Amino acid sequence: MPVTETLRPDEAGLSRAADLLRAGELVAFPTETVYGLGGDARSDLAVARIYEAKGRPRFNPLIVHLPDVDAARVLGDFDQRAERLALAFWPGPLTLVLPLRPDTGLSPYVTAELPTVALRVPAHPVASALLRAFGGPLAAPSANPSGRVSPTRAAHVIEGLDGRIAGVVDGGACAVGVESTIIGLDGPAVLLRPGGVPAEAIEAVLGHPLQQGGSTVKPTAPGQLASHYAPGAAVRLTASRPEPGEVWIGFGPGCEDADLSLSATGDLVEAAANLFHLLREADRLAGPDGRIAIAPIPEAGLGRAINDRLRRAAAPRP
């Protein structure tokens, strides 16, 4: 089996990562949300390798990561709304789905042959440095087998993809911990996936409420499949107490005897940062055919993103 290299986030490591990417290989790297699985977004072969490594359905489009808004404008058609959101939240955990400009050179596999493209400028310094070292757009879904728990540490990437990708740049734990918020702007502004930027903050910049959108059958953006982010164990939500045999993940006061806690104080930022790591830990504790119970999370701010991931983790498996 090929060996997946673990690379340091220094000049030598980033240079090696960029060389691998130029050769059409796949390299995972940290962003402020989760680790992304990077491949040259202009290469059919590299993008096909992303789908193959993840076992990802090819009708599920990918997010293109870029170093700055100028690079994003080359690929997507920015209107005034997109410009305002980019100014307010880039670099950061926001993805914009925009009309695809003609003759961008992107592989059609990136967009799943849709007339739109998902664009993001990540804030993580290692991601930014790698994008500049590579010198081009990187398609980068989460660096994990499709449908499984997203990776927030390099060890999570190795656990799921060792031997299936060329390398991973180890930049430590991801600070935000849930994927980017996705906003569709090829028509009315639509919330396609809640994430690291609360919908309320986006609505404040736009000056009006977001519509709700997305399809679990034919996604227009990543993270819309009904079953996603799933551990091996069965998941039960809004559990104020565990049932016998369940591993209980608590949140806030009143869960002092929980096996694990997203945040003992009820801090949604802390809970988001801990979510995927603790789902993995609970899965390990539960063991084969185990069960996980999760305390209620408020449906506001980052809680919307956390609950979105948890509902998909608990959904019936295909």
Is residue 165 located within the same domain as residue 300?
no
- Low-confidence residues of the chain, pLDDT below 70? 1, 58-59, 214-228, 317-318
Contact 261, 249 (CB under 8 A): yes
Tally of CB atoms within 10 A around 157 = 28
Q: Which domain does 276 fall in, by range?
A: 234-314
Is residue 245 located within the same domain as residue 296?
yes
The per-residue pLDDT for 117 is 97
The per-residue pLDDT for 315 is 87
Cβ neighbours for 271, distance < 8 A, ≥ 6 positions apart: 251, 262, 263, 297, 302, 303, 306
Q: How many CA atoms lie within 13 A of 53 on its CB side?
A: 31
The per-residue pLDDT for 223 is 57
The per-residue pLDDT for 229 is 72
The per-residue pLDDT for 147 is 81
Q: Is 94 part of a structural domain of the chain?
A: yes
| Domain limit, last residue, from 147, 178, 212 | 212
The per-residue pLDDT for 222 is 61
Task: Tell me which residue of 242, 240, 243 sits closest to 251, measured CA to CA.
Answer: 240
Is residue 155 located within the same domain as residue 191?
yes
Strand blocks (E) in 79-222: 94-99, 116-120, 138-139, 167-169, 181-184, 190-193, 211-212
Tally of CB atoms within 10 A around 108 = 11
The per-residue pLDDT for 280 is 94
The per-residue pLDDT for 220 is 59
Burial degree of 302 (CB within 10 A; 0-12, 13-18, 19+): buried
The per-residue pLDDT for 3 is 86
The per-residue pLDDT for 213 is 75
The per-residue pLDDT for 227 is 55
Is residue 18 located within the same domain as residue 162?
yes
Is residue 63 located within the same domain as residue 203?
yes
- CATH number for the domain spanning 28: value is 3.90.870.10
Task: Tell me which residue of 21, 143, 30, 187 sits closest to 93, measured CA to CA.
Answer: 30
Tally of CB atoms within 10 A around 149 = 27
- The domain tally of the chain equals 2
Cβ neighbours for 69, distance < 8 A, ≥ 6 positions apart: 86, 90, 121
The per-residue pLDDT for 176 is 96
Is residue 193 located within the same domain as residue 267?
no
DSSP one-letter code for 99: E
Query: Which tokens belong to 100?
Result: 């695809």
The per-residue pLDDT for 84 is 98
Burial degree of 207 (CB within 10 A; 0-12, 13-18, 19+): exposed
Query: Which tokens belong to 15?
Result: 């240079």
- CATH number for the domain spanning 303: value is 3.40.50.11030
Longest Cα–Cα distance of the chain, Å, equals: 58
